């Protein structure tokens, strides 16, 4: 599926791709270099995620883990 680049370097992400990624107006995307090309993915804001998890610290049973341990576990570290 091809798209045209404007003189300002902008492209319109096709609706099927926006729907598949769950993108809404105002969302951010990342371009990731991979296998000699690029792929587009939803932007993941780690700082916002960390803040959201910390907001609920003490209100959720983390199975004996600290918040930092839980965040690392969620990230697969």
Could you please report the per-residue DSSP string of 1-65? ---PPPTTS--PPPHHHHHHHT--TT--EEEEEETTEEEEEE---HHHHHHHHHHTTTTS--TT-
The pLDDT of residue 11 is 92
Measured in whole angstroms, the distance separating CA 46 from the mean position of its chain's CA atoms is 8
The CA distance from 36 to 77, in Å, is 27
List the one residue out of 55, 32, 52 whose CA is nearest residue 43.
Answer: 32
The pLDDT of residue 8 is 97
The pLDDT of residue 35 is 93
pTM of the predicted structure, to 2 decimals:
0.51
């Amino acid at each position: 599926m091809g798209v045209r680049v404007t003189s300002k370097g902008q492209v319109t992400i096709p609706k099927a791709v926006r729907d598949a990624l769950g993108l809404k107006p105002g969302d951010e995307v990342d371009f990731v270099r991979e296998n000699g090309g690029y792929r587009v993915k939803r932007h993941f804001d780690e700082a916002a995620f960390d803040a959201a998890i910390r907001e609920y610290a003490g209100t959720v049973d983390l199975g004996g883990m600290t918040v930092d341990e839980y965040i690392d576990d969620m990230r697969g570290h």
